[in-house]
């Protein structure tokens, strides 16, 4: 938590980058598929969105890993980080992307199987499923691929076998969930989202606070996954790659 909260570089890069990603994603939805030109633009923009998401996640993971490993080193010097060849990272990237798409489909299927008699608990079930599938199961694999740990499954198994990782990510998500909806219920943002009210100054402040809570929670989860996948015997800053 301390690494996530005190890292100003990560807050600036991720805060601006995620806003850019959301803006581009919204533009991607508005492009439509009327002509071949628009379809080509949609494909290019979608590929860039995948790249930008990977870049943002990899940036924060590398900062957290270097901050953690730098404590064991005396003095500072320039570290030469090796470059990975495409043949090293493309297979892992393909596996992670295909697994993400499979989990999205699986999550949708499981939500359809839920009985209609649970309308009040549906939001909780959706949140727990998202935490299990995309934070616990998928995120360690994506982090291992982005940090170049040499294997996908061994680092992921280390994370899955650590109760602290499960408890830390669940606590972070729960605090974010309660804070987010407490702010949402106590403001006029719902009416603004529905198009029935204007956004006031208090609404803008609430919206910024909600974004800060979401961003801080995501950064804490990223710091937890970086530490959970790390091998105890690896103590070199050269573990990361460019």
pLDDT tens-digit series, residues 193-211:
767 778 788 888 888 998 9
Range of the domain at 48: 2-71+95-230
The structural domain count of the chain equals 1
pTM: 0.83
Residue 89 lies in a domain: no
Model pLDDT, residue 240: 52
Residue 47 lies in a domain: yes
pLDDT at 189 over 50: yes
Model pLDDT, residue 165: 95
Q: How far is Cα 224 from Cα 242, in angstroms, rounded to an integer?
A: 22
In contact, 18 and 215? CB cutoff 8 Å: yes
Better-predicted residue by pLDDT, 8 or 116: 8
Q: How far is Cα 2 from Cα 44, in angstroms, rounded to an integer?
A: 38
Model pLDDT, residue 34: 60
Q: Which are the contacts of 63, defined by CB distance < 8 A and separation ≥ 6?
A: 7, 9, 10
What is the chain's Cα-based Rg? 20
Return the ∠ at Cα 63 (arms to 60 and 69), rounded to 5°: 140
Comparing C-alpha atoms, which of 80, 26, 82, 89 is closest to residue 54? 89
Q: How far is Cα 241 from Cα 62, in angstroms, rounded to an integer?
A: 9
Residue 236 lies in a domain: no
Model pLDDT, residue 78: 47
Other Cβ atoms closer than 10 A to 142: 25
Q: Which are the contacts of 116, defined by CB distance < 8 A and separation ≥ 6?
A: none
What would the pLDDT profile of 28-81 be if each residue is shown by its tens digit?
777 765 667 777 777 888 888 888 999 999 988 988 888 877 765 544 454 455
Q: Which are the contacts of 9, defined by CB distance < 8 A and separation ≥ 6?
A: 63
Return the ∠ at Cα 131 (arms to 125 and 135), rounded to 5°: 165
Among 76-80, 144-148, 154-158, 162-166, the least confident range: 76-80
Residue 86 lies in a domain: no
Residue 90 lies in a domain: no
- What is the tally of helices (H) and strands (E) in the chain? 10, 0
């Amino acid at each position: 938590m301390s690494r996530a909260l005190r890292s100003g570089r990560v807050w600036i890069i991720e805060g601006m980058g995620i806003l850019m990603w959301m803006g581009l994603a919204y533009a991607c939805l508005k492009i439509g598929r009327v002509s071949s030109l628009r379809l080509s633009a949609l494909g290019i923009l979608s590929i860039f969105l995948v790249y930008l998401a990977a870049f943002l996640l990899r940036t924060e993971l590398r900062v957290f890993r270097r901050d953690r490993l730098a404590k064991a080193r005396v003095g500072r010097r320039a570290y030469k980080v090796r470059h990975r060849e495409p043949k090293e990272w493309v297979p892992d990237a393909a596996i992670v992307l295909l697994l993400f798409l499979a989990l999205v489909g699986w999550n949708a299927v499981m939500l359809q199987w839920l009985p209609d008699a649970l309308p009040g608990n549906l939001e909780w079930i959706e949140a727990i499923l998202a935490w299990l599938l995309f934070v616990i199961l998928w995120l360690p694999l994506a982090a291992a691929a982005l940090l170049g740990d040499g294997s996908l499954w061994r680092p992921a198994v280390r994370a899955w076998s650590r109760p602290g990782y499960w408890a830390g990510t669940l606590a972070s998500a729960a605090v974010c969930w309660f804070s987010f909806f407490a702010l949402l219920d106590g403001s006029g943002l719902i009416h603004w989202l529905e198009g029935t009210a204007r956004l006031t100054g208090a609404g803008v402040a609430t919206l910024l606070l909600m974004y800060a809570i979401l961003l801080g929670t995501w950064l804490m989860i990223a710091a937890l996954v970086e530490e959970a996948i790390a091998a105890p015997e690896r103590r070199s800053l050269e573990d990361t790659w460019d």
